[in-house]
Protein backbone atom coordinates (compact mmCIF):
# COMPACT_ATOMS: atom_id res chain seq x y z
CA UNK A 1 0.00 0.00 0.00
CA UNK A 2 2.82 2.38 0.91
CA UNK A 3 4.46 1.78 -2.50
CA UNK A 4 1.22 2.67 -4.29
CA UNK A 5 0.96 5.95 -2.37
CA UNK A 6 4.60 6.80 -3.14
CA UNK A 7 4.13 5.86 -6.80
CA UNK A 8 0.94 7.95 -7.02
CA UNK A 9 2.75 10.91 -5.44
CA UNK A 10 5.60 10.65 -7.93
CA UNK A 11 3.17 10.37 -10.80
CA UNK A 12 1.33 13.50 -9.69
CA UNK A 13 4.64 15.39 -9.38
CA UNK A 14 5.70 14.30 -12.85
CA UNK A 15 2.37 15.30 -14.37
CA UNK A 16 2.66 18.70 -12.70
CA UNK A 17 6.16 19.12 -14.08
CA UNK A 18 5.13 18.26 -17.63
CA UNK A 19 2.13 20.58 -17.45
CA UNK A 20 4.32 23.45 -16.19
CA UNK A 21 6.99 23.00 -18.86
CA UNK A 22 4.78 24.08 -21.80
CA UNK A 23 3.65 27.15 -19.83
CA UNK A 24 7.27 28.25 -19.48
CA UNK A 25 7.84 27.55 -23.17
CA UNK A 26 4.88 29.81 -24.03
CA UNK A 27 6.68 32.87 -22.67
CA UNK A 28 5.77 35.69 -24.99
CA UNK A 29 8.69 36.40 -27.27
CA UNK A 30 8.58 39.91 -28.78
CA UNK A 31 7.29 39.75 -32.35
CA UNK A 32 10.49 41.14 -33.96
CA UNK A 33 12.55 38.46 -32.18
CA UNK A 34 10.06 35.79 -33.21
CA UNK A 35 10.37 37.02 -36.80
CA UNK A 36 14.18 36.91 -36.60
CA UNK A 37 14.30 33.42 -35.10
CA UNK A 38 11.68 31.85 -37.39
CA UNK A 39 12.10 33.68 -40.70
CA UNK A 40 15.63 34.91 -41.22
CA UNK A 41 17.19 31.46 -41.25
CA UNK A 42 16.12 31.01 -44.87
CA UNK A 43 16.16 34.58 -46.14
CA UNK A 44 17.44 37.92 -44.93
CA UNK A 45 15.28 40.17 -42.81
CA UNK A 46 15.70 42.98 -45.32
CA UNK A 47 13.61 41.12 -47.91
CA UNK A 48 10.55 40.86 -45.66
CA UNK A 49 11.04 44.22 -43.96
CA UNK A 50 11.19 46.09 -47.28
CA UNK A 51 7.82 44.67 -48.28
CA UNK A 52 4.73 46.53 -47.12
CA UNK A 53 1.51 44.56 -47.15
CA UNK A 54 -1.49 44.04 -44.91
CA UNK A 55 -1.51 41.62 -42.01
CA UNK A 56 -3.75 39.29 -44.02
CA UNK A 57 -1.37 39.37 -47.00
CA UNK A 58 1.63 38.61 -44.79
CA UNK A 59 -0.28 35.78 -43.13
CA UNK A 60 -0.97 34.20 -46.54
CA UNK A 61 2.72 34.49 -47.46
CA UNK A 62 3.87 33.03 -44.13
CA UNK A 63 1.46 30.09 -44.44
CA UNK A 64 3.31 28.99 -47.57
CA UNK A 65 6.51 28.74 -45.49
CA UNK A 66 4.98 27.46 -42.24
CA UNK A 67 6.30 23.92 -42.27
CA UNK A 68 9.80 24.67 -43.50
CA UNK A 69 10.19 27.25 -40.75
CA UNK A 70 8.35 25.20 -38.09
CA UNK A 71 6.02 28.04 -37.18
CA UNK A 72 2.85 27.49 -35.16
CA UNK A 73 -0.44 29.10 -36.14
CA UNK A 74 -0.16 31.57 -33.22
CA UNK A 75 3.41 32.48 -34.17
CA UNK A 76 2.32 33.03 -37.78
CA UNK A 77 -0.39 35.41 -36.61
CA UNK A 78 2.03 37.36 -34.41
CA UNK A 79 4.65 37.63 -37.17
CA UNK A 80 2.01 38.74 -39.68
CA UNK A 81 0.68 41.31 -37.19
CA UNK A 82 4.21 42.67 -36.75
CA UNK A 83 5.01 42.83 -40.46
CA UNK A 84 1.57 44.00 -41.54
CA UNK A 85 0.93 46.53 -38.79
CA UNK A 86 -0.42 49.71 -40.42
CA UNK A 87 1.96 51.92 -38.40
CA UNK A 88 5.14 49.98 -39.22
CA UNK A 89 6.01 52.21 -42.22
CA UNK A 90 5.58 55.32 -40.04
CA UNK A 91 7.80 53.78 -37.36
CA UNK A 92 10.46 52.92 -39.96
CA UNK A 93 10.49 56.42 -41.43
CA UNK A 94 10.45 58.26 -38.12
CA UNK A 95 12.52 56.01 -35.83
CA UNK A 96 14.89 53.81 -37.80
CA UNK A 97 16.26 56.84 -39.59
CA UNK A 98 18.37 57.45 -36.47
CA UNK A 99 18.09 54.22 -34.43
CA UNK A 100 18.64 50.60 -35.39
CA UNK A 101 16.25 47.90 -34.20
CA UNK A 102 18.68 46.63 -31.56
CA UNK A 103 18.77 50.06 -29.93
CA UNK A 104 14.98 50.33 -30.07
CA UNK A 105 14.59 46.87 -28.55
CA UNK A 106 17.06 47.74 -25.80
CA UNK A 107 15.20 50.97 -25.08
CA UNK A 108 12.00 48.99 -24.67
CA UNK A 109 13.62 46.42 -22.38
CA UNK A 110 15.06 49.20 -20.22
CA UNK A 111 11.60 50.73 -19.86
CA UNK A 112 9.59 48.08 -18.08
CA UNK A 113 6.29 49.96 -18.21
CA UNK A 114 4.31 51.31 -21.12
CA UNK A 115 4.29 54.72 -19.38
CA UNK A 116 8.11 54.79 -19.39
CA UNK A 117 8.11 53.94 -23.10
CA UNK A 118 5.59 56.70 -23.76
CA UNK A 119 7.79 59.19 -21.88
CA UNK A 120 10.74 58.20 -24.08
CA UNK A 121 8.64 58.78 -27.19
CA UNK A 122 7.67 62.21 -25.91
CA UNK A 123 11.33 63.03 -25.30
CA UNK A 124 12.13 62.05 -28.89
CA UNK A 125 9.24 64.16 -30.16
CA UNK A 126 10.37 67.23 -28.24
CA UNK A 127 13.78 67.03 -29.93
CA UNK A 128 12.20 67.91 -33.27
CA UNK A 129 8.45 68.52 -33.24
CA UNK A 130 8.47 69.13 -36.97
CA UNK A 131 9.76 65.57 -37.53
CA UNK A 132 7.44 63.66 -35.16
CA UNK A 133 4.00 65.10 -34.64
CA UNK A 134 1.90 64.33 -31.57
CA UNK A 135 -0.31 62.10 -33.73
CA UNK A 136 2.75 60.25 -35.11
CA UNK A 137 4.17 59.79 -31.60
CA UNK A 138 0.88 58.26 -30.41
CA UNK A 139 0.77 55.88 -33.39
CA UNK A 140 4.41 54.84 -32.91
CA UNK A 141 3.79 54.25 -29.20
CA UNK A 142 0.80 51.99 -29.99
CA UNK A 143 2.89 50.11 -32.54
CA UNK A 144 5.75 49.54 -30.10
CA UNK A 145 3.57 48.27 -27.27
CA UNK A 146 1.85 45.92 -29.72
CA UNK A 147 5.10 44.27 -30.87
CA UNK A 148 7.07 44.22 -27.60
Domain final residue, candidates 63, 83, 103: 83
- Count of domains for the chain: 2
- Do 100 and 72 lie in one domain? The reply is no
CA dihedral sign, ordered 29, 33, 35, 39? negative
The DSSP result for 60-118, as a single string, is HHHHTTHHHHT--HHHHHHHHHHHT-TTHHHHHHHTTTT--HHHHHHHHHH--SHHHHH
- Do 76 and 96 lie in one domain? The reply is no
Of 26, 29, 30, 25, residue with least CA distance to 145: 30
Q: pLDDT, tens digit, for every residue of 43-52?
A: 777 777 888 8
For range 34-46, the mean pLDDT: 83
Q: 3-state DSSP helix/strand/coil percent for the chain, to nearest 5?
A: 75, 0, 25
Query: Rounded to an integer, what distance in angstroms lies between the CA atom of residue 145 and that of residue 138?
Result: 11
Q: pLDDT, tens digit, for every residue of 86-142?
A: 999 999 889 888 888 788 888 877 887 888 888 988 998 898 888 899 999 999 999
More confident call, 130 vs 66: 130
- Do 54 and 116 lie in one domain? The reply is no
Domain final residue, candidates 83, 101, 123: 83
- Structural domain range at position 61: 2-83
Query: Rounded to an integer, what distance in angstroms lies between the CA atom of residue 4 and that of residue 8?
Result: 6
Residue 80: exposed, middle, or buried by beta-carbon count in 10 A (0-12, 13-18, 19+)?
buried
What mean pLDDT value characterizes the chain?
A: 79
**Contact yes or no for 84/57 (Cβ under 8 A):** yes
Domain final residue, candidates 83, 110, 131: 83
Phi, psi (rounded to 5 degrees) for 77: -65, -40
- Do 76 and 136 lie in one domain? The reply is no
- Do 67 and 122 lie in one domain? The reply is no
DSSP state at residue 43: S
State the pLDDT confidence band at 22, using cuts at 50, 70 and 90: very low
Identify the CATH number of the domain in which residue 57 sits: 1.10.760
- Do 75 and 13 lie in one domain? The reply is yes
Amino acid sequence: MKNIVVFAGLLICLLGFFRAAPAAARRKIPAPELFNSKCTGCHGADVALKRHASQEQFLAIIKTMQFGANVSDREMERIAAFLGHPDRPLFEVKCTRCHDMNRIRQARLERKTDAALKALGERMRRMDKSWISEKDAAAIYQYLISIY
